[in-house]
């Protein structure tokens, strides 16, 4: 079997990986969340474009699928975990944690990288996630964690070590949750069938214009809430249909 390593989609995926690696180095060496966030944004753009390029150039391959998961594990698994680790160290305590636990509490932030691995492995073997996701997508989690760190370290959002741990656990649980979350994969360009996607994009643009620096975490929270409401509504409709 001939394996092509150097294709345009693979180069884009490697761009995702390198951006993630640079973000990790930035967090570990300088703790600069702003630069790290932009690097994760660049990684997310590469992550979107590699799949688009693969479909456009008809060069979808098994190695590309595996490479994509490896890159995502670094950019959207390891990096957000390091972000929460760095944020934990930078924030004061509210006095709710025992002193001995406060010293080792940072290790709880590693739950994100562990659950991201589970999330990506599940995605690779779950055939139902072609048009929607089961659990929070790792890029969304990465953007949320990095933007939260930027706001907190910049003095725009009060934060304590206890809150950092709660957020880390909640986001990790969302990664492997059974909640079906909509994907921005359009069924054509018409309004019908894409109502939720177009509405979410328009709402996101409005939030970016109004809230600027608070936009990313706000958009991610709204995405989770909308997906949860949609999931519950679909489940209830399905149960009602089955009972008839």
Phi-psi region of 183 (alpha: psi -120 to 50; beta: other; left: phi over 0): beta
pLDDT in tens, the chain (244 residues): 567 778 888 999 999 999 999 999 999 999 999 999 999 999 999 998 988 787 777 777 888 888 999 999 999 999 999 999 999 999 999 888 887 787 888 999 999 999 999 999 999 888 888 778 999 999 999 999 999 999 999 999 999 999 999 999 999 999 999 999 998 876 666 777 778 888 999 999 999 999 989 999 999 999 999 999 999 998 877 665 555 5
Residue 45: Cβ within 10 Å count:
15
pLDDT of residue 242: 53
Q: What is the pLDDT of residue 87?
A: 97
pLDDT for position 44? 95
Give me the pLDDT at residue 239, please.
Answer: 60
Nearest Cα neighbor of 69 from 60, 57, 80, 77 is 77
- For residue 69, give the nearest of 127, 137, 135 by alpha carbon: 137
DSSP 73-98: HIIIIIHHHHHHHHHHHHSPP-S-S-
What is the per-residue pLDDT for 71? 96
CA distance 51 to 36: 23
């Amino acid at each position: 079997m001939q394996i092509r390593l150097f294709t345009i989609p693979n180069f884009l995926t490697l761009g995702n990986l390198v951006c993630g690696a640079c973000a990790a180095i930035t967090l570990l060496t300088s703790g600069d969340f702003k630069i790290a966030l932009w690097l994760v944004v660049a990684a997310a753009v590469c992550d979107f474009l590699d799949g688009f390029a693969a479909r456009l150039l008809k060069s979808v391959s098994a190695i590309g699928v595996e490479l994509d998961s490896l890159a995502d594990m670094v950019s959207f698994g390891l990096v957000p975990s390091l972000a929460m680790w760095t944020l934990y160290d930078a924030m004061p305590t509210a006095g709710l944690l025992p002193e001995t636990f406060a010293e080792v509490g940072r290790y709880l932030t590693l739950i994100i990288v562990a659950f991201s691995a589970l999330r990506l492995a599940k995605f690779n073997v779950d055939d139902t996630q072609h048009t929607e996701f089961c659990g929070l997508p790792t890029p969304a989690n990465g953007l949320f964690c990095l933007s939260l760190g930027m706001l907190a370290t910049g003095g725009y959002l009060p934060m304590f070590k206890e809150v950092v741990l709660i957020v880390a656990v909640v986001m990790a649980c969302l990664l492997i949750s059974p909640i079906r979350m909509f994907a921005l994969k359009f069924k054509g360009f018409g309004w019908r069938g894409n109502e939720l996607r177009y509405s979410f994009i328009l709402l996101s643009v409005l939030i970016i214009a109004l809230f600027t620096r608070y936009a990313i975490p706000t958009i991610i929270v709204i995405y989770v809430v909308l997906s949860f409401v949609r999931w519950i509504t679909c489940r209830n409709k399905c149960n009602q249909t089955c009972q008839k």
